[in-house]
Structure 1
Amino acid sequence: MTHRTPRRSPRPTAAGALALVAVAALTACSPGGSGSTDASDEARLRFAYAFTPTTALSPYSDDATTAYAAGATETLVRLDPAGLPEPSLATRWEQVDPTTWRFELRDDVVFHDGTPMTVETVVAALDAAAAAEPAPRALAGGTIDARADGDGAVLVATAEPDPVLVQRLTSPELVVLAPDAYADPARPTPVGTGTGPYEITDTDLSTSMTLEANPDYWAGTPALDGVDVTFVGDAGARLQSFRSGQVDLAQALPAAQLDQIDDDQLLAVPLPRTVSLHLTQTSPVLADPGQRELVRAAVAELDLAGTIYAGRAEPAGGLFNAAVSAWAQDRDEPAYPDAAAVAEAGPLRLATFTDRPELPEMATAIADALRATGFEVEVVARPYDEMEADYLDGAYDLVVMSRSYGQDTADPVGYLQADFSCGGTYNLSRSCDPDLDAELAAAQTLADPDERAAAAVAVEQQVLADVWAVPLVHDATQFGFEGVTDLAADPFERAVVTHTTSVQR
């Protein structure tokens, strides 16, 4: 973990050098999700996770982070606390030509099902990700082609030079799984097929997930006997579980209720995460820039950070949080379109998800502001796993979304491509501008991190000027924890449990 490759990609620009402790919470459940674990017999970490799997834990979706956070899956490369790539399943790497990188593999890795990790298994895993439809967001705007280079290395090639290929390969979407994981190529399963310190041995994919220590883990014997995860979408329930001692860690606690927790049990860390209002371009009303400007102006009057977040979040200055991304400071105010008269149409459908407790409250405040402007508004709020497909299909006129702009690729240009390009795989705004796509394509070729950041800010200004999205607040992670040590230091909210993580009660 301390060694560097002789040639590594530039420092990721999405979060600078900020080290964030990305903690998640654990619930009291035994393997299979029933009963409680006897802490005197076993050292098990109880983890109340805020999101329910939506695609059977397939890494080609947001489920990728679930298995990765619990310590079940790993990538060729991971990010260190400063946001720099460091070895994981690959021990070193180098760029051999403008479109090809060479990764040397560890020779002592065994998958949870007993299969050894070889060059062939790594190539197959990467090729499966490259062939997935839709493509993993980490590969937005391009693809990869993997091939063996002898018995101990893999060559990964791109059609065009990709300065951030190594950062892409840190994404949980590109984990390496055993061959049996790909029986369904569209939805690989990490259950019993990962390489991490903990093996997923049981899950019903809706309430719980059980992991046992992997005694053959390449980095050493895990400190815990296992991890018991429950998926708890209700933030109030997570808070109550922590206060009652049922969980060791509690993720995404409601900001307005944090006064119920002692300061030494609370961790609040600013993130490269922004809550934004996405305006759907395929909406009959919001296809008109003048109508979008009416929405933006109404929302701009709200103090959401000070009220709903009780001062525990910062008002958003843009899509990127300047507090953790220094390159995003000193941006110009966008030139917004002229507002139009309120269109006579049916109600705007405003949607958000209930897994983050502040979002429904924000949706209610936004709806009230829009009604005062003259719009009719209908609010829809349900758990995320029930709504993701509708978000991506443009079923709603407006969507309040909390989004990490560094999670997919650790690169702001990659985030912009995924969220705002014509072919973006997470384009909630349903936006499409060929000229903007051309700018993003040009930005992808930039190797200098300062030039890449400047290009991202320029694209951001166009997105905001066209009112495809309205940034609302820059979020912080709010966790309760008790007796837990050695959690992962991860600036992109991916890793949580490591082989040295321990718990004392």
Structure 2
Amino acid sequence: MALALSITALTGCFDGSEDVTQSADATAQTQDDRLKLAMLLTPRTGLSPLSDDAFKFSRWSVGETLVFLNAEGTLEPKLATEWEQITPNDWRITLREGVMFHDGTKMDASAVANALDKAANAAPKPRILDGVDWTVKTDGDNAVIVSSKEPDPLLAQRLSSPQLTILAPSAYGENGAINPESTATGPFRLVKLNGSSTATVDRFDGYWGEPAKLAGIDVSFVPDGIARASALRTGEADVVEAIPVSQAPLLDPSMIREVAMPRTNTLYANMNSSVMKDAGMRAAVREALDRQQLIDNVYESRADIGVGLLGPALPWAAKLRQPVAAPVAPSDPQGVEIVLGTYTDRTELPEVAVYLAQQLTEAGFTVKQDVREYSQIEQDALAGKFDLFILSRATMLDLGDPVAYMSSDFTCEGSYNLAQLCDPAIDDAIEAASVLPAGEARQKAIMKAERLILASDAAIPLLHERVIQGESKRVREAIADPRERLIISTQTHLVSSDSAK
């Protein structure tokens, strides 16, 4: 029997903030303004939407997806106006009419099917499609049918991931090459990416929805947190991602927005390393940690103790969490040497590494640190070249649901498995959670999987972060988004210096 779960079109879309009425004169004054945006991470794949670079596309309102996940975790229309599960395996997606790509071509069913097909057949797949096998076909000119090999109760939510941004056919070249310049559909158009230093983004006047108030965005990639904070103080940036906690007290409080994030600072133990493959050694690492010292001394109390993989941004997790049964007893390290790695892009992590190295040394380990920029260290981390690796990890980045994160990080075939973890029981638990519809049963299954992961000591949660966003006094309607999908919207604009006082 077909399932009639049609979602009808809604008017408007979530912009993360309350409307602020501006006079006609003030609005007109800002129409030609360009906003200066300082970003944390440099592009890793030339802004390919099939990677985490997709979230930059999304944050600038350049790339768009078929559906949109609002602040409450509810799906809203974007490039699709309706979505209907017509069988357990098949979903019909009705497309918005009148949408134009930035290259001037029309968005139709063929273009959407092409974009989704490129993602489904990419190597490696986007993280959002880990463990997912689907096919896409057109259904007339204005709809597509997405069919999953196995029933996927969250397929519609999956389509909200920035990694499934819809690009024009002209974006896709030979051998998997993707050119994101002038090929998306959003209110802003990527004009030029200048390597890993800057990007130029202009308003797209052919946008299907409400036009953007800003003329454009001048993006700078500034991995150094102190430099980002300095750019805000000096006026070199209007909006700044991820102000380091050490810099927050040096800024005008009116320029700071602090948001609780579903992001966990986690210590990954390499299950294949000569030292950490021993469960007793991993337990010794766990027992050596002083999380409160990290929060007090590194995060200046702007973080929460990591009691699990999922933090206070998911209130249901704490309610359903149960103790880990019979944890392994710690072994005596006896001075064994281990390599502890992390990256500089998140300013606090090198300092976290220093404190952890001290704690582990006191426990009997000999610790060697390896700290580099993320773009330089990621390949080694994925290849398992560290005994321990500190990672700041978003746990709800894709679906508003942590199963995709767990599948990516903790299954045998996971594409981001820094711990090199491969446990059939954990795979089965994550799979069991993945097939359940949203609700309490799915949440309980997720917490069972978390409990098994914690019992392995392959991932040892340290703390749950709060991200601090900086905004100059001229900025209006920028978005502080807990899911890190939005920062600039059509409503974002600048006011005159006199108005900002």
Give the TM-score normalised by the residue count of structure 2: 0.91
Cα gap change, 1:103 to 1:299, in 2 (>3 Å):
same
- Residue 329 of structure 1: SS of its match in structure 2? helix
**Are 1:246 and 2:240 counterparts?**
no
Cα gap change, 1:143 to 1:504, in 2 (>3 Å):
farther
Cα gap change, 1:255 to 1:139, in 2 (>3 Å):
same
One of 398, 409, 413 as aligned partner of 1:419: 409
One of 433, 442, 446 as aligned partner of 1:452: 442
CA contact (8 A) 2:335 2:364 kept: no
Q: Which amino acid aligns with 2:494?
A: V
Cα gap change, 1:49 to 1:264, in 2 (>3 Å):
same
Cα gap change, 1:19 to 1:438, in 2 (>3 Å):
farther
- Residue 45 of structure 1: SS of its match in structure 2? strand
State the match for 1:169 in structure 2: 159
**Are 1:80 and 2:70 counterparts?**
yes
Equivalent-residue separation in structure 2 for 1:193 and 1:388 (angstroms): 28
- Residue 346 of structure 2: SS of its match in structure 1? coil
Equivalent-residue separation in structure 1 for 2:132 and 2:469 (angstroms): 36
State the match for 2:487 in structure 1: 496
Q: Which amino acid aligns with 1:401?
A: L
State the match for 1:396 in structure 2: 386
- Residue 436 of structure 1: SS of its match in structure 2? helix
What is the CA RMSD across the aligned residues, in angstroms?
2.0
State the match for 2:467 in structure 1: 477
Equivalent-residue separation in structure 1 for 2:415 and 2:110 (angstroms): 28
State the match for 1:33 in structure 2: none
Equivalent-residue separation in structure 2 for 1:19 and 1:82 (angstroms): 12
**Are 1:358 and 2:332 counterparts?**
no
Alignment of 1:187-336 (within 5 A): 187-300=177-290, 302-329=292-319, 331-335=321-325, 336=327
Cα gap change, 1:8 to 1:359, in 2 (>3 Å):
farther
CA shift at 1:325, angstroms?
3.1
State the match for 1:369 in structure 2: 359
Identify the range of structure 1 (255-264 vs 399-408) with the bigger mean alpha-carbon deviation.
255-264
Large movers: runs of 4+ above 6 Å: 18-21
How many residue pairs get aligned? The number is 475
CA contact (8 A) 1:242 1:248 kept: yes
User: 1:179-217 CA distances to partner (integer Å, 9 max, x unpaired)?
Assistant: 111104534221111111111111212100001110000
Equivalent-residue separation in structure 2 for 1:486 and 1:118 (angstroms): 32
Identify the range of structure 1 (383-392 vs 316-325) with the bigger mean alpha-carbon deviation.
316-325
Cα gap change, 1:199 to 1:430, in 2 (>3 Å):
same
User: 1:341-365 CA distances to partner (integer Å, 9 max, x unpaired)?
Assistant: 21564x3111111111111100110
One of 47, 50, 58 as aligned partner of 1:60: 50
- Residue 309 of structure 2: SS of its match in structure 1? coil
Equivalent-residue separation in structure 2 for 1:488 and 1:253 (angstroms): 15
One of 307, 325, 329 as aligned partner of 1:338: 329
User: 1:444-469 CA distances to partner (integer Å, 9 max, x unpaired)?
Assistant: 11114211111111111111111011
Q: Which amino acid aligns with 1:367?
A: A
Q: Which amino acid aligns with 2:394?
A: S
State the match for 1:108 in structure 2: 98
State the match for 2:25 in structure 1: none
- Residue 303 of structure 1: SS of its match in structure 2? helix
CA shift at 1:263, angstroms?
1.9
CA contact (8 A) 1:79 1:490 kept: no
Unaligned 5+ segments in structure 1 are 10-17, 22-38
State the match for 1:159 in structure 2: 149
* Structure with more relative contact order (C-alpha pairs < 8 Å, separation 6 or more): 1
Give the TM-score normalised by the residue count of structure 1: 0.90
- Residue 371 of structure 1: SS of its match in structure 2? helix
CA shift at 1:430, angstroms?
0.8
Identical positions, percent: 38
State the match for 2:22 in structure 1: none
CA contact (8 A) 1:72 1:198 kept: yes
Unaligned 5+ segments in structure 2 are 9-13, 18-28, 497-501
Equivalent-residue separation in structure 1 for 2:16 and 2:5 (angstroms): 26
CA contact (8 A) 1:19 1:83 kept: no
